[in-house]
Structure 1
């Protein structure tokens, strides 16, 4: 196993160690200092999810999976693992993968209800070139779409937008973004 692969494995292992206690406790983190569910009818009608996991497939971003937390009724933050295509491929495009952050803003408009901004730092590329730094490039994506954040267990989401793949020693790729995926809410 090469040195950079060991470093990547350590980062992923560290990320799993950090996230596992939050995901496995089953604790409702918003229950602290909030009104009782039985005394507040407005709270009963609110259908905010708290922690969730999701995965999606798309055009430039071939696969992504993440763990998120709904901060309030308008914003959520997620940590994601993403695999996307990069430029400079011959017959088939090369790919790269990495870890990043996704910010979602929820506000109903037209047929959409969310705006997502995503940033991924590439940690691995499939190209044959050897890049000595830890960061192998970046991936940016902005989408608008439809995401259901009700407390039901499994929901479908979709988004359209624009994405940019900027891997080191490869051509920058600008692409329309189209993705579809599943969200699994961890708490009812």
Structure 2
């Protein structure tokens, strides 16, 4: 399993009141892919740009797609631009992949056989591994989860990250999620103003 898949499973394991928006999760998953590349020595970060190195073919299909999408000519792509480009509908892609791998299952809500479906993790070694990383507050996973306001009731202290490039990626994820929230709030205000205009005084 990759950090992105672990993050997806950890997110799915949260209680309903801590549900995460698909756009936020997609940005964080794109960041998690970059973190795995950094830790594997497959990319470096120059200021805020992604510089690909030798990228061995990943065993994971989605990581392979991410690797194929990296810009290999200077000026290299900025991390922020990567998050928005790669993150488009990425949570749906991860959900489909995890369902295909038998890591997620669809269940009906409530007792009615025709009730709405929801997806939940299956008790597999991969889920237990993700839960283990989460329970141990593994710094990379915890830092990415904190961008989604998931802390599991833990301390408010930011987990320490030893790698400067990883820190840069995680900071970019936090910024992108905050920017997405700002866009949502602006649209809400604009929609409310538009509705008030039609209602009149």
> Which structure's residues are more often helix, by fraction?
2
TM-score (norm 1): 0.21
TM-score (norm 2): 0.20
> Which structure's residues are more often strand, by fraction?
1
